[in-house]
Each structure stands twice: as structure tokens, then as C-alpha cells.
Structure 1
Amino acid sequence: MIAVKVKWNKEEMAVEVDTSQPPSVFKSQLFSLTGVAPERQKIMGVKGGLLKDDAEWAKLGLKAGQKLTMMGTADKIPEAPTQQQTFMEDLPEEEQDTSGMSKYGAGLENLGNTCYMNSTLQCLYAVPELRTSLTSYGPSPGMGGMGGVDGNHTLTVATRNLFADLTRSAQPVPPMEFILSLRRTYPQFGQTNREGYHMQQDADECWGGIMTSLKDRLKDGPSNDPVIRKLFGLRLRSTLKSAETDEVINKEEEAEKLVCNISVEVNHLHEGIKLGLVQDREQRVEALGRDALFHGNAAISHLPPYLTIQMMRFYYKADVQQKAKILRKVTFPLLLDALDFCTPELQAELKGPRLAAKEIEDRQVGLSKKQKLGDDSSAAPAASAAAAPPSGDDVAMGDAAAAADASTSGEPAAEAPVDFAGQLTGKYELIGVLTHKGRSADSGHYVSWVKQEDGSWIQFDDDKMIPRKEEEVLTLSGGGDWHMAYMLLYRAERVPQE
């Protein structure tokens, strides 16, 4: 890394140059700082005159503290739409919510191959806790110049403003502030083709970029922990062992998503996640003086309220030099049980909440039956429930059942009962699907399918909002050229309140 100074207009910036990367990467850094697109940058002060994208740093004689000069005009901040944005509260009463769709938010206008971004934002908008956290995020600084402004901050502000517009808009929203902030913070989303049009991008990369920026800037007030970590954060524990030396490596890391790998043996999401948790890799072994193969698996040691899963449908195809798509059908459930992916310690922690949830549900079902049959039959459900043998996860909760018996028999329990209200059970409900239609990640079309609070499903196809049925969502498993699931968003089941 070589620290240099770059003068642009009246501004001088300190920039570190990674000489192991081509000059095009350096130009992307300057783009994020100034808004001057790489193709419009003229950088002077190196040997040979202007800096070229394919130049070799070793031949340019770059030195620490060297002064470079850049010429070029920054992108203009997008102008306001010619049609004034109309909000629901501004409409006459007789014109409000005529379609009945405004309660589900609003569509997003496509600003030129931005369906990857629109579908990602609609899925994240489905998380009410995220929307609430954004509303309390600090005000935006002046946008003039943009030189040196924290990209994570401006993208968080743009997300806050866009979500507010989606909440109160009566028509599709043009996400101009957001796309400008996204491209300044992550220049790869500003790539253009030979004709000068912005290129299609990968929705997973967009999702990851937004998560990174929000994780950096959006914090929970009392604890100051990242909101993204609290809502989406997983912890994965892996144990790897070398067959040659018996060396064992234990590792724990954070993640915001699980991966569903797809092979010829994978037909269901559960199988793909299991495959994605395989951690076989080569690792340096000092005793051997070389890399050796380690075998092992990862398991979840902490579950979040919202579980994101990426279907690994794209891979790089060298002969055509682009991402190709795996079309294989992989089914996914509306209700996902993550227990099988967890560490033994976490499985033990989930036993109590799962038992509590089942007992509450059983009592609610029994109460419903009593209301239908009358109070005279109230003794029968209780007797049958007491006689029924435990099943599945309940077998390991014998101590909990014994504690309950002790409390009814007058004998003191060993410990006070644990309040499981609000705790996770390891079971998840599907609330969002981001799909891709087409043969390549660099082309095709992205849309999102989002479950609403009233249980209905809405397909967000850029500016269009289309009601869908649950059975239609299940057809998104792949196997052809129809829309197929690429990102899945699940919401945790919690112990119900009585």
C-alpha cells in the first residue's frame, strides 16, 4: 500500500493505493470519494502521462506522498421526477386506497436494470423492526460535493428515506437517492456497457452491500449493538480435522445468511443447507511444511429472529466468461425447522421453548374444543393429554414435566419456572422470496414475493404489485425458465402468548 495525495478541483484527498491491484481499482476508490465515474477520470502525475487502466504500477515509479491530479466531472445528483411524488395523505379522501394495495407499501420504479436492487429492498422492507430502527437514525448531512462523506452513512440515510416513502406513497417510488448512494458506496453497481447503459447486477451482492452498510451505521440505542446483527446475525461453529496429522481446528464466526448448495443429490432446501455447512478445505500445516486437506462441518451456535438463505444457483463458466445458472428444482418449505443445523448446545437450549410452545398450542386447541363441545366434556381432554406419551423433542423434557407435576402435587420444584415468552424455538415461517428469471446472473429479471401481516402474498415486480396465492410461491423452486428462488427470508417462530 502506497499513500498518495490526489488533487481534484479545489479538494485534496489522501488515498492509499494497493499496487497489487490494477489501476482500475484505484479509479473505483476515487469514484466512491468524488462521484467521478472511472471512464471520465483523467489522472496525471505518473510516468508516461495519463494513468491507464491496464498500466503496471511497478513501471510508473509511484512513491509515498506523491501528488497526483485528477480531472473529471462528478455525476450529478438525480433531478426530482417530472411528476411530483404523491403521498396518500395528500389525496382527496375519495381517491385514497382505491385499489386496496397501498397498505402493503408501494412499488419501486426501475431506473435502468435496477430490478436486482428493487427486489432486495422490498424483501428488507418486510422486516418491521428494521423499518422502526431506521426511523430513528440521525439526519443526513449536506449532500453537496460528497467528497469524503461516509458511504455507509449516506446509504443508511437513503434506506431510511426510501422506506419512509414506501410507507406513505400512493404510487411507485423512484429510488434515485438510493441508487446514487449505492453506486457511490459500492462502485461495481455503477458499471456500464459499451452503449453507456447501466448493467444488470447480482441481487445477492446488492443484499450483502446493504447489510454491510447498515451493520456499520445502524445501532441499537441501549446496547449500541448493530441492529443487523440482532435481527439477522448467525454464529457458526466449525470443527475441522486433518486426516494426515489428526490436527483439529475449532473456529466460530459470524454470518448474516446460510447457503444452500445445489448438486445432483440435492432436491430439498434441507439437503442443500446441510451441504452448505460442509467445511472441507485446505489449510497450512506447519509440521508438514505445506497445505493439507481438513474435513469438517459447521453448525449454528446462535439463531437470529430473521433467517436469510441464499440458493447457490450461479457459478462462473470459464468458456463464456460469465455466471451461469443452475436450473435444478430444489423445493423449500413454508415452515422451516432449523434444529438439525444447530450445535448440540443450542439444540438443548431450544428444547424448553419448543415444549412451552407445544403446551400452549395444545391448551389453545383444547380450549377451542371445549368451547365447541361444552363444559361437560372438559375432563376428557385433560385426561387424554395426561395419558398421551411424549413425542419427538418432548422426550428430552422429562425434567420439565416432572417439575410441572411437582408444582401440582404440592412439592416444591427445584427451580422457579423459566419464562419462555418471546424466545425462539428454532422454527421459521417463510415471509420473503427473491427470485430470478433467466439463464445468467448478469441478465434476466429479479422480482420479490413478500408475505404481508394479513397473511396474503404480494409479488413486487418493480413498480407493479400483484396479489399471489401461497401455492404460487411454492412453484418458485426451479426446474425451468420460470422465476426461481434465489434468496429466502424466514421469520422466527416465538413461544406464543396465552
Structure 2
Amino acid sequence: MRINWASASGSSRGARREFGVVERETYAINIRRPRARPLACAAPFLSPPASKPRLHRTAAMPTVSVKWQKEVFPGIEIDTTQPPIVFKSQLYTLTGVPPERQKIMVKGGILKDDADWSTLGVKEGQKLMMIGTADEIVKAPEKGPVFVEDLPEEEQVVALGHSAGLYNLGNTCYMNSTLQCLHSVPELKSALLSYSDTARGNGVDQASHNLTLATRNTFGELDQSVRPVAPLQFLQTLRKKYPQFAQQHNNVYMQQDAEECWTQLVYTLSQTLTSDASESAALSMKQLFGIDLVSRVHCAESGEESMETESVYSMKCHISQDVNHLHEGLKHGLKTELEKVSPALGRTAIYTRESRINELPRYLTVQFVRFFWKRESNQKAKILRVC
């Protein structure tokens, strides 16, 4: 952009007028000089010579049209202060032709990305020719994505790697939760698979043997099916082995405790899977769930003290107003009081049992004790607390 300056002096009080011409616009600035004063008094008021006023210079932006194939794109501004790659990016948004494929004909050949616009002689209203192939438009997939939650229930089970569920056969949620809990232990499933129909060992009653077979068969159905399984055989066998789970009220089977069902089933499996016929899986139940405890039993009244060792299959977390965390409930459960006959006193006395864990299993089972026994009513009462 060229700026031409022209000066003109007038005779009116020494005024000077300067003209700045910028393309089509003319700027006139009047600069008045102060009146001449005596040197002695005018000196403090003298100002430095006025400099030439600055004018903001605007870049030339010629407007051109571009012909591509059978289309013409008019009114495209070219910012000559930017490299040609910026202009090509503008054309990419209009035509879909990537800059690297664009061939734009200008003076001297094909427009390069780093060319100087001042040497190309692009004029206002000029028509440019562009050659190039646009990117292929991305087509929508013929079949949209399918999310797991949109699959049928059977396919969701396979996709997520979950096992089949169990039907509630009438207040049998306690039994279903026990089966699903044990079914999640792969080592136990392997031990049951090695248990044959004729694996009943010495000292194992027929009911325990049948319950073990029913557990094995139910686990097999859960592994082979993607639809819910009805554990009828297991339920009937469980009630034959442990009749308390067959209690009824008004001809309706009563609700039962899941911990009691779990304890009875684990105890049965620990007896059957340790038989001679299944010695390869004999140590499984002890290694998987057995907790070795060393207990100190003492009587504060008589001073008697003894040490006991035992193996249990679960630890108890007692819930009370003072228990807010799991470790607090477990610690509380390791210290209990019991009443028994004291040989030294010749009568019943209160003993304190303090247990310590000697060995932990591969899978630690914790029971949250939510009920306590009310002696006055001989009933279980649920523990309620405000969190």
C-alpha cells in the first residue's frame, strides 16, 4: 500500500496544511502553530516540532472468483498478507479438495504454498481456475453400532461374561444368593467336577452325597445356560438334608437366613469333598474358606485360663452403634463372652474368649450380623441404626 504525501503552505498566520493520500481516500490534517511571542516569555511555552501524523495502513484484499469443474465460487477475498496456503484452506471448505491436491492457475504457472502475492499480480475481480479431486464423502455405516444394553438378555450374559441367573421358587432368595456366591469360585467348581456319582466315601451319609451332586449339577446348568435356571433338584435335596429350610407358615414356605444356608452347604461340601474318593480336591474347602483361629478362654472370677484352636469358614462383623467400619466389626467379633460351668467354682460363670487369626484362606467370607437374639421373646430381632 503506497502513501503519497503532499504539502501546501498558506499565508494565513503561517498555517501549514498537509495531505495524506491513501488509495481512494484523502486525509487532511490542520496543524496550527502558536502565535509568536517575545523570546523571554515565549520560551517556556515552546513545544517540540510536530511530527507527521500516523495513518493506519490496511492490507489490500482483492476479491476473486474461482472456477472448479462446473462450479464457480464468486466473491472470495484473498488476504495478501497471508501465505497462499491460507487461501487454499478457504477453497477446501468450499470444494472439499485438500490443499495438497489443489492446482490453481496464476500468472507464471501453478500457485505454490509459499508464493509471494505481490509477484503474482492478482487483480480485483480476477477469475482463477482450480483443478483437483475432492475427498470422498464419508458414508454412514449401513449397520449402526449395537450397545450391550440394547442386546437381548441372553446375548448380554454372553457379552459381559456373566453366568445365568436363578429363578426364585418362592422365598428362595437366601438359597440363590448362596449358590451364586459359591459359583463364583472357580476352584470350587473344579473340585465339584471331579466328584463323581459313586464318590461317596466312608462316613458320608447319602443325603450329604446327594446334596453335593445337586450342587455340581446346578453349577453345570449355570455354566451351560444363558437363560435363568430353576434349581428345583437342589432345593428338594437341600430340604431333605436340612428340614429347617422346609418350614411353612399358612402353607407358604418361610423366608430363611442366607448365612445359615451358606454355613450348612459349605459344611456339607467340606465333608464330602474330603472323602477318599475325591482326595484330589480334598484340601480345597479348607484352603479356599478355612480360617484358623487361636483363642484364649479365661474366667476373671476364678482365674482359669485355657488355649483353644479351631477352624471356621467365616468371620462375623457385628453391627452396632459403635461400629462404623468393617475392621471395627471384625475386631468386635473376635472377642465374645460365654457362660459355662467352672470346675473351680462348681457353678456356671462368665468366660471371655479372645481369638486371634492364625491363618487366612484364599477367599475370606464375612457375615454382617444384623440380628440378635432377644431372650425375653425368644425371637431374632433386627439391628436398626441411623447412619
TM-score by structure 1 length?
0.43
Give 1:259 shift.
0.8
What one-letter code is carried by the residue in structure 1 that aligns with 2:186?
A: P
Are 2:157 and 2:164, in contact at CA under 8 Å, matched by a contact in 1?
no
Give a deviation string over 1:109-153, Cα, whole Å, max 9, x none: 111111110111111111110011111111269xxxxxx971111
What one-letter code is carried by the residue in structure 2 that aligns with 1:218?
A: L
The partner residue of 1:268 within 299, 311, 325 is 325
Residue aligned with 1:238, SS: strand
2:259 is equivalent to residue 204 of structure 1: yes
2:178 is equivalent to residue 123 of structure 1: no
Give a deviation string over 1:438-490, Cα, whole Å, max 9, x none: xxxxxxxxxxxxxxxxxxxxxxxxxxxxxxxxxxxxxxxxx5xxxxxxxxxxx
Give 1:98 shift.
2.4
Give 1:266 shift.
0.9
Q: Distance in 1 between matches of 2:372 and 2:343?
A: 33
What one-letter code is carried by the residue in structure 1 that aligns with 2:252?
A: Y
Give a deviation string over 1:275-323, Cα, whole Å, max 9, x none: 1000333343322212233334101111110111111101234677643
Residue aligned with 2:156, SS: coil
2:308 is equivalent to residue 257 of structure 1: no
2:171 is equivalent to residue 113 of structure 1: yes
Query: Which has the larger Rg?
Result: 2
- Which consecutive unaligned segments of at least 5 residues does structure 2 have? 1-150
Q: Distance in 2 between matches of 1:96 and 1:174?
A: 17
The partner residue of 1:187 within 243, 246, 263 is 243
Equivalent residue number for residue 367 of structure 1: none
The partner residue of 1:174 within 222, 230, 240 is 230
The partner residue of 1:294 within 351, 356, 375 is 351
What one-letter code is carried by the residue in structure 1 that aligns with 2:155?
A: T
Cα 1:295–1:99, aligned 2, differ >3 Å: closer, same or farther? closer
Give 1:218 shift.
1.3
Equivalent residue number for residue 133 of structure 1: 191
Give 1:230 shift.
1.9
Are 2:154 and 2:227, in contact at CA under 8 Å, matched by a contact in 1?
no
Cα 1:109–1:100, aligned 2, differ >3 Å: closer, same or farther? closer
Are 2:178 and 2:261, in contact at CA under 8 Å, matched by a contact in 1?
yes
Are 2:295 and 2:308, in contact at CA under 8 Å, matched by a contact in 1?
yes
Cα 1:129–1:324, aligned 2, differ >3 Å: closer, same or farther? same
What one-letter code is carried by the residue in structure 1 that aligns with 2:248?
A: T
Give 1:104 shift.
1.1
Equivalent residue number for residue 146 of structure 2: none
Q: Distance in 2 between matches of 1:250 and 1:216?
A: 26
Q: Distance in 2 between matches of 1:172 and 1:264?
A: 40
Cα 1:157–1:296, aligned 2, differ >3 Å: closer, same or farther? closer
Q: Distance in 1 between matches of 2:256 and 2:336?
A: 28
Give 1:241 shift.
2.4
Q: Distance in 2 between matches of 1:100 and 1:246?
A: 60
Give 1:178 shift.
0.4
Give 1:213 shift.
1.2
Give a deviation string over 1:390-435, Cα, whole Å, max 9, x none: xxxxxxxxxxxxxxxxxxxxxxxxxxxxxxxxxxxxxxxxxxxxxx
Equivalent residue number for residue 230 of structure 1: 287
Q: Distance in 2 between matches of 1:96 and 1:282?
A: 54
Indicate the RMSD between aligned Cα atoms, in angstroms: 2.6
Are 1:217 and 1:226, in contact at CA under 8 Å, matched by a contact in 2?
no
Q: Distance in 2 between matches of 1:122 and 1:163?
A: 9
Q: Distance in 1 between matches of 2:226 and 2:281?
A: 35
Q: Distance in 2 between matches of 1:224 and 1:135?
A: 10
Equivalent residue number for residue 279 of structure 1: 336
Q: Distance in 1 between matches of 2:153 and 2:319?
A: 46
Q: Distance in 2 between matches of 1:117 and 1:133?
A: 20
Are 2:273 and 2:279, in contact at CA under 8 Å, matched by a contact in 1?
no
Are 2:157 and 2:226, in contact at CA under 8 Å, matched by a contact in 1?
no
Give a deviation string over 1:18-39, Cα, whole Å, max 9, x none: xxxxxxxxxxxxxxxxxxxxxx
Residue aligned with 1:162, SS: helix
Are 2:339 and 2:348, in contact at CA under 8 Å, matched by a contact in 1?
yes
Q: Distance in 2 between matches of 1:266 and 1:187?
A: 35
- Which consecutive unaligned segments of at least 5 residues does structure 1 have? 1-93, 142-147, 330-478, 480-498
Q: Distance in 1 between matches of 2:192 and 2:360?
A: 23
Residue aligned with 1:280, SS: strand
Cα 1:321–1:239, aligned 2, differ >3 Å: closer, same or farther? closer
